Amino acid sequence: MAGLICAEAAFSHNERVVGGTEAEPHSWKYQVSLQAHGTGDSYYHICGGTLVESFHVMTAAHCVSVDGKYRVVLGEHDLYKDGGTEQIVDVEKVIIHPGWTGALGNGNDIALLKLADSIYDNGFVELAALPYAEHILPHNYTCYITGWGLLGGESGEPDRLQVAPSNVVEYSICSQPEWWGIYAQESMVCVGGDGIIAACQGDSGGPLSCKTEEGDDALWRVHGVASYAPQGMCNQVNKPTVYTRVSHFIDWIYDTIMPPEEE
C-alpha cells in the first residue's frame, strides 16, 4: 500500500525496511504477514502485523477495510518459499479503532483482526508481549523494526524478513516544525530520522520491538504499530518513521480481545 494524507504532509504508508539486514529465520515469532485476496485463490502481502492473542492480530487501520478479504501468515520467513513452518489463517472480522479518521496525522492508526481459527504453538510462532499502559520510551532508546522487502530493490529476489535497529526520537523533538510538527501526536512513537534506516512501503502495521524492563520483567515488547514515513525516500533526515504507540491503546486492545462476559 502507498498513499498520501495530503500533499503538504508528504506521508506514505510504511512498507519496506530501508537499511536493514536479513533477520535470523523465526527470530521474531510474533511477526505476521497480512495478505489481501487477489484473483482466484491468490493472496499477496500488503502489511505486517503482530500476534497478540491466539485469535487476534494487531495491525494498522490504514492497511484494512471492514469489508476486505484477508488472511494472515505466521511462522513465515521467505514469502516466496514454503518452509513447512507457516500457519495460514483467514481473517474473520476487521475491528478498526473508533478514533481512526483515515488521516494518518490524526493518529489512532490501529486495528485488530479476529481470526477464523486459533493460532497454535508449533515452535515457530509466539504471542507478543505488550507494554504497560502509557509506558513512554526514553529518547535515543534502541528498538528494532521488522518487515518484508526485496533484498535487491525491485530485482525479484526472495522476500525474506528484514530487521534494523532504530532509535526513539522523543515527542518534544519529533513534534518540532523541522521534524514532523503537528503531525506527530503524543499517541505515537517516532524512531530514526538519521537518513539511513527507516521502515517504508510494505512494513505498515508491523511491530516496533523494544527490550524493556517493566516491573521485574525485561522482555521484548511490541511498543509500536508502523503507521507512516515520508513520501518517496523513506529514510530522510529529521523525518522519522512514525508508529502508533501501543501503550496508549492497551485498554482498547484488551477490551476488544477479551470482552467482559455477559451476565
Which residues are tagged catalytic?
62, 109, 204
Residue 108 DSSP symbol = -
CB of 173 closer than 8 Å to CB of 179: yes
3-state secondary structure labels for all residues of 113-168? EEECCCCCCCCCCCCCECCCCCCCCCCCCEEEEEEECCCCCCCCCCCEEEEEEEEE
Q: Are strands 87-96 and 207-214 parallel, antiparallel or unpaired?
A: unpaired
CA distance 168 to 225: 14
Cα angle 159, 163, 168; round to 5: 140
Q: Are strands 43-53 and 11-13 parallel, antiparallel or unpaired?
A: unpaired
